[in-house]
Structures are given as C-alpha cells and as structure tokens.
C-alpha cells in the first residue's frame, strides 16, 4: 500500500485531536537498540517522532491486520505489533511502566477498522434486540393513551364469566378545541378520533405563541402570521 508522504505528514501534525500520545521505547530494525520516541495515535495510524516537538514524523505504522501482544525483551514492559503477513516486520515497543504498557496495548488493539466493524455489528445486534422487545411490548393493549392533547380509553364491560372485556360500542375521549376542553364518545368500533402525529417528547405548546396547546389554535396563529407577512410584502411592491 502506497501512502502520500505529504498527506501523511500533514495528518500527523494537524490540529485534529489524537487518540493517544506518549513516549515509548522503539527497537530499531537495523540498530537493534531501543530508542525513546514520541508516539501519536490517530485512528488506525501510529506515528512516531524523534522528539516531542519534531515538525514531521520519522515513521508510521498502519494498524490493520495486526495483533498487539506482550513479548519477551531485554526491556521491561515490552510488547509487539505483529502482522499476519509472514515477511512483515514485527515492531517491538516498550513502555515506561506497567500502567502505560497496559494503556497502550488496549488503545492499539482497538485502533483498527476490523475492530470497529466488530463493535458496530455487536451494537446493531443489541439494537435489534431492543427494537424487538419494544415492538412486542407495544402490541399489548393499553387501557389509556394520550396523543396530541387527546386522551381516550375503552371502558371495560363484564362478560358472562365475570371477566372484563373492552366494550366495542363506545370509546370515551377528552380533547381540546378552540372553545376549550371537550369530551365525547365514539361508537365506530372502538377507535378514537384521529389526531395529527407529532414527535415523541415534543412540547404541545408553541415556543413563540403561548396558550396554543391545541393544534387548531396553533394553526390559526400561524395563519394570521402568514397573512400579515403577505400584506407587508404587497405594500412594499
């Protein structure tokens, strides 16, 4: 895989917040001694600099198709980044203490897109379970419900064996109109009067016009507003 050197260097030093930064000891490929380098983790790319205030990175490790595991080394708190390819280089790093080593191993293990895909799949599975459970619960009959200021319920009626059963002949409901709160009884097989839908948790009252909890009042208020704006526009022509 080829990377544009300028783009990579810009991404390493731009203002985008890093996922993790800190000093680590890195084992050289030719000079097998450990050298202290400043590391910056951004997404699935691990940059390392010669010093903390260096302007450009001296290398980058793309964390895809790899595993991060502890390894034996002359340095304490050492771990390695190993790739699936047989001829791929093994990067050996060492932290300054146990806590730093555990923190880096955890962050590097979670940096790849492969890991993110697994997380997304698990979250999708959990979401499907929640939606299935919510759908099953929503199918159960509720004795009372309220929608857009209209509350309606089916009064139970006694059957021959003494159990309660919803009466299909009448549904009681309470709502609001321009004249105020009203109540009534619908005899169309147990359905409440239709009401316009609204978002769950939304307020019934307009934030710009008080006392407009009813849909009809709110509709009239906006109608007057539009009419006034139309008159002003015609006068300006």
> What stretch of H or E contains 22?
strand 20-27
Helix (H, G, I), strand (E, B) or coil at 174: strand
Helix (H, G, I), strand (E, B) or coil at 185: strand
Reported as a single tens digit per residue, the pLDDT across 169-194 is: 454 445 544 445 445 555 555 555 55
> For 203-223, what is the mean pLDDT?
51
Q: Can you give the residue ranges of every domain in the chain?
A: 5-113
Helix (H, G, I), strand (E, B) or coil at 138: helix
Residue with the bigger pLDDT between 158 and 122: it is: 122
Could you tell me the two tokens for 180? 């105020």
Residue with the bigger pLDDT between 115 and 163: it is: 115
Concatenate the DSSP letters of all residues of 177-223 into one string.
ETTEEEEEEE-SSS-PPP-----TT--SS-SSSSS--SHHHHHHHHH
Residue 64 pLDDT > 50: yes
C-alpha–C-alpha distance, residues 72 and 211, integer Å: 74
Report yes or no on whether pTM surpasses 0.85.
no
C-alpha–C-alpha distance, residues 71 and 82, integer Å: 11
Q: Which of 37, 87, 88, 100 is nearest to 63 (CA)?
A: 88
Residue 144 pLDDT > 60: no
pLDDT at 87: 85
How would you classify residue 211: left for phi > 0, otherwise alpha for psi between -120 and 50, otherwise beta? left
Give CATH for domain 5-113: 2.30.29.30
Long-range contacts, stretch 115-121, CB < 8 angstroms, 24+ apart = none
Concatenate the DSSP letters of all residues of 215-233 into one string.
HHHHHHHHHHHHHHHHHHH
Write down the number of H helices and E strands in the chain: 4, 13
Residue 32 pLDDT > 50: yes
| Averaged pLDDT of the chain | 76
Could you tell me the two tokens for 32? 């097998």
Q: What single DSSP character describes residue 193?
A: P
């Amino acid at each position: 895989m080829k990377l544009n050197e300028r783009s990579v260097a810009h991404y390493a030093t731009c203002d985008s917040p890093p996922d993790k930064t800190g000093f680590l000891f890195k084992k050289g490929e030719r000079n097998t001694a450990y050298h202290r380098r400043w590391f910056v983790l951004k997404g699935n790319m691990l940059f390392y600099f010669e010093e903390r205030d260096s302007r450009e990175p001296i290398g980058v490790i793309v964390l895809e198709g790899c595993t991060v595991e502890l390894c034996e080394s002359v340095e304490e708190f050492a771990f390695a980044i190993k790739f699936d390819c047989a001829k791929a280089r093994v990067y050996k790093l060492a932290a300054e203490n146990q806590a730093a080593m555990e923190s880096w191993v955890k962050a590097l293990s979670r940096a790849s897109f492969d890991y993110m895909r697994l997380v997304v799949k698990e979250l999708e599975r959990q979401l499907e379970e929640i939606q299935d459970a919510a759908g099953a619960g929503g199918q159960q009959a509720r004795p009372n419900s309220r929608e857009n200021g209209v509350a309606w319920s089916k009064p139970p009626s006694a059957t021959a064996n003494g159990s309660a059963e919803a009466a299909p002949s009448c549904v009681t409901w309470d709502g609001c109109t321009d004249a105020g709160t009203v109540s009534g009884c619908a005899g169309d097989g147990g359905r409440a009067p239709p009401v316009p839908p609204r978002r769950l948790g939304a307020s019934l009252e307009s934030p710009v016009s008080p006392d407009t909890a009813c849909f009809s009042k709110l509709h009239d208020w906006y109608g007057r507003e539009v009419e006034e704006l139309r008159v002003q526009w015609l006068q300006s022509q």
